Structure 1
Amino acid sequence: MLRNGSRRLRAITGLAVAALLAGSALTGCAKDPTAGGSGGKNSQQLTVGLTYIPNIQFAPFYVAEEKGYYQQAGLKVDLRHHSASEDLFGALNSGREDVVYAGGDEMMQAQAQSKPIVDVATLYQKYPVALLVPTDSAIHSANDLRGHVLGTPGPYGETYFGLLALLRSANLSTKDVKVKYIGFTQQAALAGKKVDGVMGFVNNDAVQFDQAHIPVRAVTATDGGQQPPLVGSGLGATRTTLQNRGAQIKKFLAATMRGVQETIDNPQEAVQLSEKYVPDLQDPEQQAAALSVLKATIPLVRTGSGKLGYNDPATWARMAEFMKQQGLLSHPVSTDQAFSDSYLP
């Protein structure tokens, strides 16, 4: 377990496959985690923080690199995987990174802590977290949660935020259920009947349950069909970087969105292009697992507007209010300062 629990969660969110989290060293052209940051104000080099371990989660970036999209944009992009004990925003705030992959909710928390980080692209248009319960469970909606034992890794990160949103959608709180902190042992906890349901990612944990032949279904918020008041994974940069290197950030986002679209259109090829970066991905079984996760992710990435990376102002406003009410922000955050769509292609 890392010092910062949300950092550990970030490493397995989204497109991650737990079976790929091997201890092997990263191969290919990703930057050494201990290396320095980017060049000066006019440099075309950008360092991008992708958390501490390479995995299929980051396929769009690997695709953009392998397809030459960054090079075509005139950029030299270093994909920097963080060390295991590294703070999520540490390298960004110190100038060693120019862009970081993080949750919109995590970036809002950073804003509340006076860290001037702006979300410039939301990659997950649908929040990927849900409560996973056995298919024969008596829990069919958030209204059925009262008195049940619910497992979540800890009081941090997307799974915890998602739990709070799920409870609130039924006018419940953590006082109405028993919350059990189980670390990252969702399968063992649910299969062993230590909990009645576990918070997990529908495009990762749910896929792993299926591959383990443990039938589960997802229970999501019931607030009028709306998505949870939370913003998922995206890309953030400091205000200083945006002021000094806005042109490069625009080029980077345009090239990255090409990688995202390619991953949506050709997930099988995305897995193949990621082999260079992800340990053990040459194994056919791991390739199949990775492909399953990518296919489960595509519905989360697609947007109603059709614009990849779009930050929805209404969702950000709902999240600011929700996180304030839940005591997740040390200070109020203005959404005008929290995100910007100005750098999207």
Structure 2
Amino acid sequence: MKRTLLLAALLAGTASAQQNVTIGLGYLPNVQFAPFYAAQKEGYFRREGLNVTFKHGYVSELMPLLLQGKIDFVVGDAEDAILAHAQGAPVKYVMAMYQRVPVTVFSLGAKGITKPADLRGKTVGIPGAFGSSYFAFQALLDANNLTERDVKLAQIGFTQLDAVRSGRVDAAVGFVNNEPLQLRANGQKVNTLSVNAAYPMVGVGLITTEKNLQGFLGRKVTRAAQQGVALTVRDPARAFRDSASFIGSGGGTLDVLKASTPLMTSAFTRANAVGFSDPATWTKAIAFLQKSKQVPAGVKATDFYTNSLLSKTVK
């Protein structure tokens, strides 16, 4: 009896020692967040002594909550961390989920949009005048001697797939691992325009406050999330199964996740480990934003990101 009570007390003590952490994952539950769902389901967070809760919403809503201390981490575009930090917010990008932006401009083959010049006079759908989709599209136009006045921009929220499929817009800005994939799965011919040459930006990743870099919390959360990325790359089918209870039936498919995993790796991660940010990519990204006067001329890339919380032993 005494042994049973002692065991119960020890278990209760272990449970109470778990540190509560809230991670903002953006918009709606979706397979794109599989590394975090997998880290939860596989017990990676729990092994670090963390009791993790996910909060979904627009990053524009989640970043203020991060700064107010109401949530602890946010998964967002690199630009979210860069622009917030440039305006004085004490935030840093601490783990890369995607090594490059997955943004693309997609259209049905019948529209004949095979090069950026074909966008002239066309109606192009964008989620809104914010985030990596909007910035990347602006860069694509600029690199091809076009301006927003040369196209008809339509702010359509996150309805790009239906808007293109129904003909409401001629093209839309979406993700290469999402909407074009779904259209092709339905037998439709799709044209895509890559933005990577015009917009050399770091992909979506984990952002936190500089305060969380000082203690153990940042390292624990990042280590567990990094393991989630590694599992997703290594075994997307397992990560998809882990995600099922979080995303339901409308949160994406295994094919979408499989198309996402190449975005999580690069030559740099193969030499180090998943989750690491390539300093060369960051240097190019900050130089681009400086040229477009979105960040001050005197800043350097390491002001905005760190690899210090990551482990090279995670594969």
TM-score range (shorter-chain normalised) is 0.7 to 0.9
* Structure 1 residue 318: Cα displacement: 2.7
Identity percentage over the alignment? 34
1:65-109 deviation line (CA, Å, top 9, x unaligned): 22122233x321313214579722122112222221111011112
**Where does residue 310 of structure 1 map in the other structure?**
276
Structure 2 counterpart SS, 1:322: helix
Q: How does 1:234-249 map to 2 (within 5 A)?
A: 234-243=205-214, 245=215, 247-249=216-218
Measure, in 1, the Cα distance between the counterparts of 2:231 and 2:50.
Answer: 20
**Aligned amino acid, residue 33 of structure 2:** F
TM-score, length of structure 1 as denominator length: 0.75
For residues 174-213 of structure 1, the aligned pairs below 5 Å read 174-213=148-187
Distance 1:266 1:274 in 2: 13
Of 168, 183, 199, the match for 1:228: 199
In the other structure, the counterpart of 1:253 is 222
Question: Using the alignment, how far apart are the partners of 1:88 and 1:193 within structure 2?
Answer: 33
Indicate conservation of the 8 Å contact 1:170/1:222, yes or no. no
Are 1:272 and 2:272 counterparts?
Answer: no
Q: Does residue 61 of structure 2 align to residue 71 of structure 1?
A: no
Partners of 2:53 and 2:171 lie apart in 1 by 36
Write the mapping of 1:320-339 to structure 2, written as runs, cut at 5 A. Answer: 320-326=286-292, 328=294, 333-339=299-305
Deviation at 1:314, TM superposition (A): 2.8
Q: Work out whether residues 151 and 199 of structure 1, in 8 Å CA contact, stay in contact via their aligned partners in 2.
A: yes
Q: Distance in 1 between matches of 2:199 and 2:276?
A: 17
Task: Give 1:155 shift.
Answer: 1.2
Question: Residue type matched to 1:178 in 2?
Answer: K
| Higher helix content, 1 or 2 | 2
Instruction: Look up the match of 1:139.
Output: 113
What TM-score do the two structures reach when normalised by structure 2? 0.82
Distance, in Å, in 1 between the alignment partners of 2:132 and 2:81 is 12
Distance 1:88 1:76 in 2: 20
Name the structure 2 match of 1:299.
262
Identify unmatched segments of 5+ residues in structure 2. Answer: 1-16
Shift of 1:332: 7.1
Query: Aligned partners of 2:82 and 2:145: how far apart in 1?
Result: 24
Alignment check: 8 A CA contact 2:104 2:175 kept = yes
- For residues 159 and 208 of structure 1, the distance between their equivalents in structure 2, rounded to whole angstroms, comes to 18
Aligned to 1:58: 33
- Does the 8 Å CA contact 2:59/2:76 hold for their aligned counterparts? no
Q: Deviations along 1:230-250, whole A, 9 cap, x unmatched?
A: 22210011112212x2x3322
Larger deviation, residues 135-144 vs 252-261: 135-144
> Would you say the 8 A contact 1:151–1:179 is kept in 2?
yes
Give the aligned partner of residue 162 of structure 1: 136
SS in 2 for 1:277: helix
Unaligned runs of 5+ in 1: 1-41
Residues 343 and 144 of structure 1, relative CA distance in 2, 3 Å threshold: same
RMSD: 2.7
User: How much does 1:325 deviate?
Assistant: 4.2
| Aligned residues of 1:75 and 1:252 also touching (Cα < 8 A) | no
